[in-house]
């Protein structure tokens, strides 16, 4: 898998080295003309030049010890990417540098092979009198068995009405010109034929394929996986007509609508077949991307805006489908995208941001915010998450929700899909903010939770913890206040503290009485009294820290019978939001 690409005087980059993840999906994000496509083009050109050198000079032309001349070709033979003129490969369109030799453009690719380890190959290019010359300048290769197989796939421009059988050279030329749709039927035919060969091998000497072999085939075969994805996503299968090279002049592919039959547990036909080209651009884009992604010969797939024709609801689904495919076959995929849906749903470590600074992977949500700013969009991580969950808990510290989640787990439940908004503001001020959010995000619900601090106890409802001082008529906003001074006061359970510290319960008695100034009892009542008005948070945190522990560890250790009824009430209310 490719680990880095180094470009010198190639298109948008005068000199740049970009590290990429060795496997999985990497998303390239940034504004127009920031270099996303340039990176993909560099890999496509490098792969093409490597192929040309091997074809024109033999395998030894890219191996260590080769001392021969470079190889020349005309602009008509150059087809990895679509260009009006070969000089557009060069940074600033300047193909010659005063004082330097003609090979002024270089692309170096580093990759790792599962058996033979790390390798690199640098390709140099020169343009003289409209003729392109190529040579390998640096290499660690002693064999061509370790070369990565790279496929560049620009956005699908649509299918031709008549698609002839295409040779590998014709397919490369079509892809380079951005006409992936013009050879899509060829790719599908290859996948179906390979599937037929596998089925014949599995059936040899039998009346039918065994259930176990069929299950394995459907889980691993590229054609089977493509069909399964199309059934689940679009409700149709692909039907390829037979092709006889001595008789037919064009390939034919159709879509067959299907529905799942609960009685038979199988898909059945649900309408007439239609020619593949009449499907929408989004479906064709999906089929094209996935067909190349499942191809077993592809090591690294380069996708230039594969979500361009897809509805936003399908953009994330496509990336998820690619992720599932990558997980099973170990492919590497680089995706240039502007999709907000895709970039919001992706983990930070999968996104390379192409800003004015050096392209690099995101490491924090602040980086994601800055990336969206560069794309001309306003992005707030909290607002985006609330749009999805529609549930908010206002707390004084983010640790308050962590504590409640830990105790919910102890009680055999969970508090997932709820967003915390830490703020020390009053219930009233929180409610004003909530009302503003509600205008833009209809249907959201919130619970506001505050420490009681020095507020009189009679302002808090004993059964529901409702703050009686905050009277309002909002149906989707609840004000709640702890009956103890702060949430950490509910953690003062001697048995749990000792267990967290790894001590016998009697070992903390001196600390309990002399530092906390509390009366000793190994099993204090679960409910008030005592209300525990004092401030114990700092002393408790210090004692835990001395043992290499934290308050989060303490909450995680708390047994169901040690959890105060107030906290159980709050957990139940949060689950009901």
Predicted confidence at residue 194, as pLDDT, reads: 93
Best-predicted range by mean pLDDT (24-28, 122-126, 140-144, 357-361): 122-126
pLDDT, tens only, 410-439: 999 888 888 888 988 888 888 888 888 888
Residue 361 lies in a domain: no
Closest CA to 571 of 409, 395, 408: 408
Q: How many residues does the structure list for the chain?
A: 577
Residue 543 lies in a domain: yes
Q: Is residue 224 domain-shared with residue 96, that is, in the same domain?
A: no
- Last residue of one domain, picked from the residues 100, 116, 148: 148
Q: How far apart are the first and last CA of the chain?
A: 46
Q: Is residue 392 domain-shared with residue 516, that is, in the same domain?
A: yes
Q: Is residue 63 domain-shared with residue 120, that is, in the same domain?
A: yes
What's the mean pLDDT when you consider all of the chain? 87
In the chain, the percentage of residues whose pLDDT exceeds 90 is: 42
Residue 566 lies in a domain: yes
Q: Is residue 72 domain-shared with residue 201, that is, in the same domain?
A: no
Residue 368 lies in a domain: no
Q: Is residue 102 domain-shared with residue 184, that is, in the same domain?
A: no
Does residue 108 sit in helix, strand or coil?
strand
Does pLDDT of 467 surpass 60?
yes
9 vs 388: which has the higher pLDDT: 9
Query: Helices 36-57 and 168-176, interaxial angle, to 10°?
Result: 150
Residue 314 lies in a domain: yes
Beta bridge partner(s), residue 120? 110
Rounded-to-integer distance, Cα 484 and Cα 490, Å: 7
Helix (H) or strand (E) segment spanning residue 568: helix 565-575
Q: Which residues contact 114 (CB under 8 A, 6 or more apart)?
A: none
Q: Is residue 472 domain-shared with residue 533, that is, in the same domain?
A: yes
- Last residue of one domain, picked from the residues 148, 183, 210: 148
Does pLDDT of 562 surpass 60?
yes
Q: Is residue 186 domain-shared with residue 232, that is, in the same domain?
A: yes
Predicted confidence at residue 571, as pLDDT, reads: 92
Q: Is residue 126 domain-shared with residue 174, that is, in the same domain?
A: no
Kindly list the distances between the CA atom of residue 103 and the CA atoms of 87, 132, 180, in Å, as whole numbers in the listed order: 13, 10, 31
Does residue 358 sit in helix, strand or coil?
coil
**Overall domain count for the chain:** 3
Q: Is residue 57 domain-shared with residue 172, that is, in the same domain?
A: no
Q: Is residue 48 domain-shared with residue 130, that is, in the same domain?
A: yes
- Considering the entire predicted model, what is its pTM? 0.70
Kindly list the distances between the CA atom of residue 370 and the CA atoms of 113, 343, 350, in Å, as whole numbers in the listed order: 35, 13, 16
pLDDT, tens only, 372-383: 877 776 667 778
Q: Report the CATH number at residue 289.
A: 3.40.50.300
List the domain range (segments joined by +) for residue 141: 2-20+33-148
Pairing of strands 300-304, 332-337: parallel
Q: Is residue 404 domain-shared with residue 536, that is, in the same domain?
A: yes
What's the 3-state SS for 506-546?
HHHHHHHHHCCCCCCCCCCCCCCCCCCCCCCHHHHHHHHHH
96-105, 473-482, 566-575 — which is least confidently predicted?
96-105
* Averaged pLDDT, 344-365: 86
Residue 154 lies in a domain: no
Q: Is residue 491 domain-shared with residue 564, that is, in the same domain?
A: yes
Q: How many CB atoms lie within 10 A of CB 103?
A: 16
Does residue 6 sit in helix, strand or coil?
strand
Residue 359 lies in a domain: no
Residue 265 lies in a domain: yes
pLDDT band, very low/low/confident/very high, at 484 (cuts 50, 70, 90): confident
- Last residue of one domain, picked from the residues 346, 367, 394: 346
What's the 3-state SS for 199-237?
HHHHHCCCCCCCHHHHHHHHHHCHHHHHHHHHHHHHCEE
């Amino acid at each position: 898998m490719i680990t880095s690409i180094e470009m010198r005087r190639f298109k948008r980059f005068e000199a740049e080295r970009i590290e990429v993840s060795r496997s999985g999906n990497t998303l390239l994000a940034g504004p127009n003309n920031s270099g996303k496509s340039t990176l993909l083009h560099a890999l496509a050109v490098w792969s093409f030049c490597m192929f040309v050198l091997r074809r024109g000079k033999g395998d030894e032309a890219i191996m260590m010890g080769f001392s021969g001349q470079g190889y020349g070709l005309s602009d008509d033979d150059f087809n990895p990417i679509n260009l009006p003129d070969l000089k557009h490969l060069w940074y600033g369109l300047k193909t010659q540098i005063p004082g330097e030799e003609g090979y002024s453009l270089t692309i170096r690719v580093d990759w790792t092979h599962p058996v033979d380890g790390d390798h690199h190959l640098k390709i140099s290019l020169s343009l003289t009198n409209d003729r392109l010359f190529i040579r390998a300048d640096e290499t660690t290769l002693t064999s061509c068995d370790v070369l990565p197989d790279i496929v560049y796939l620009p956005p699908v421009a649509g299918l031709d009405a008549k698609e002839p059988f295409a040779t590998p050279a014709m397919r490369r030329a079509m892809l380079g010109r951005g006409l992936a749709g013009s050879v899509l039927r060829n790719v599908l035919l290859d996948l179906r034929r390979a599937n037929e060969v596998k089925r014949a091998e599995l059936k040899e000497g039998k009346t039918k394929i065994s259930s176990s072999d069929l299950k394995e085939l459907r889980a691993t075969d590229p054609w089977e996986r493509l069909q399964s994805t199309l059934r689940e996503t679009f409700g149709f299968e692909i039907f390829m007509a037979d092709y006889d090279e001595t008789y037919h002049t064009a390939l034919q592919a159709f879509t067959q609508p299907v529905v799942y039959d609960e009685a038979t547990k199988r898909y059945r036909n649900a309408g007439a077949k239609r020619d593949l080209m009449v499907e929408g651009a989004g479906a064709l884009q999906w089929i094209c991307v996935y067909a190349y992604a499942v191809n077993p010969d592809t090591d690294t797939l380069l996708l230039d805006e594969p979500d361009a024709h897809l509805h936003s609801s399908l953009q994330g689904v496509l990336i998820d489908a690619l992720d599932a495919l990558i997980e099973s076959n170990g492919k590497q995929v680089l995706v240039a995208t502007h999709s907000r849906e895709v970039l919001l749903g992706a983990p930070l470590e999968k996104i390379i941001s192409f800003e004015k600074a050096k392209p690099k992977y995101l490491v924090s949500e602040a980086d994601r915010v800055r990336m969206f700013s560069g794309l001309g969009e306003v992005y707030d991580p909290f607002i985006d998450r609330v749009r999805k969950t529609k549930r908010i808990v206002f707390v004084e510290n983010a640790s308050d929700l962590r504590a409640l989640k830990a105790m919910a787990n102890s009680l055999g439940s969970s508090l997932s899909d709820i967003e915390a908004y830490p703020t020390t503001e009053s219930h009233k001020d929180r409610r004003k903010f909530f009302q503003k959010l509600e205008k833009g995000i209809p249907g959201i619900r919130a619970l506001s939770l505050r420490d009681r601090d020095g507020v009189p106890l009679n302002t808090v409802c004993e059964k529901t913890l409702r703050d009686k001082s905050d009277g309002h008529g909002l149906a989707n906003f609840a004000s709640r206040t702890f009956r103890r001074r702060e949430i950490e006061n509910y953690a003062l359970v001697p048995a749990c503290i000792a267990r967290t510290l790894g001590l016998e319960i009697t070992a903390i008695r001196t600390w309990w009485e002399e530092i906390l100034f509390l009366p000793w009892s190994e099993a204090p009542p679960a409910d008030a009294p005592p209300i525990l008005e004092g401030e114990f948070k700092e002393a408790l945190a210090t004692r835990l820290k001395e043992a290499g522990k934290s308050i989060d560890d303490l909450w995680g250790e708390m047994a169901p019978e040690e959890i105060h009824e107030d906290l159980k009430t709050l957990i139940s209310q949060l689950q009901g939001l």
